[in-house]
Structure 1
Amino acid sequence: MLEAIKGIEDAIRDKSYRDYQRSWVLRSALERGIEIISEASRSLGPKLKARHKNVRWKDIAGIGNILRHEYQRVDDRIIWNAVKNELPPLKQALLALQASLADED
């Protein structure tokens, strides 16, 4: 998940929403990154997710279904807002989980 987030961060660095709208490659890359994050989130157990209740875990899992099965309904603004506003707190939660799991070893 962290690798996909890093890829998305790199892809949108110095990019505007307009850049995103105009680039099929950028839109596709972000959507694929979100799909990976979505699918990977399903493998985190409820105890790990409970440590970060502020993360919208159900929405993260659900957006992957939309991207895979209802792609005609994908709204550019929703995807852009998700990567700009939802990924940073998810990244922080994942880094904290990673650190806590390392401490447990």
Structure 2
Amino acid sequence: MARDTGPVLHDILETIALIETVLAGKSREDFGKDDILRLAIQRAIEIISEASRHIPDELLLHAPQIPWRAIRGIGNVLRHEYHRVADDIIWNVVVRDLPALRTAVESLISHTE
């Protein structure tokens, strides 16, 4: 039986909202100085990565501008190559990539209803 994609998409949106809330008013410098904050954001990105793996490929075709392979892969990097993850990479994911992902996921939700 196919899994209902709606909850997965909502999980991604909720996790993005959490990241946005936690980082509101914080600078890149603030982020770099707070070990717990960095780990929390990395974990949230892992959750987004894992959730994206449960979105059917045919649904992803509705948002071709999103690098789904990279999103699915970043979780593995965070889990297995954590020692190579630079703060700048995570910060750039949050600042540059998550807003577009939020918009795309909102659009995908409309395709599942």
Structure 1 Cα separation of the partners of residues 24 and 37 of structure 2: 11
Partner of 2:25: 14
**Whole-angstrom CA distance in 1 between matches of 2:79 and 2:72:** 12
- Superposition TM-score, scaled by structure 1 size: 0.94
CA distance in 2, matches of 1:94, 1:32: 19
How many residue pairs end up in the alignment? 102
Alignment of 1:83 onto 2:103? no
Per-residue CA deviation, residues 51-79 of structure 1 (Å, 9 max, x unaligned), is: 10000101101110010011000110000
Percent identity reads 45
What letter corresponds to residue 68 of structure 1 in structure 2? R
How far is 1:47 from its partner? 0.8
TM-score (norm 2): 0.88
The whole-number CA distance in structure 2 between the counterparts of 1:72 and 1:57 is 23
Q: Which runs of 5+ in 1 are unaligned?
A: none
Q: Which residue does the alignment assign to 1:41?
A: 52
Partner of 2:70: 59
* Amino acid corresponding to residue 81 of structure 2 in structure 1: E
Please give the alpha-carbon distance, in whole angstroms, between the structure 2 residues aligned to 1:99 and 1:13.
27
- Give me the whole-angstrom Cα distance separating, in 2, the residues matched to 1:61 and 1:89: 15
Runs of 4+ in 1 over 6 A off after TM superposition: none
Structure 2 unaligned spans of 5+: 1-11
Paired residue for 2:4? none
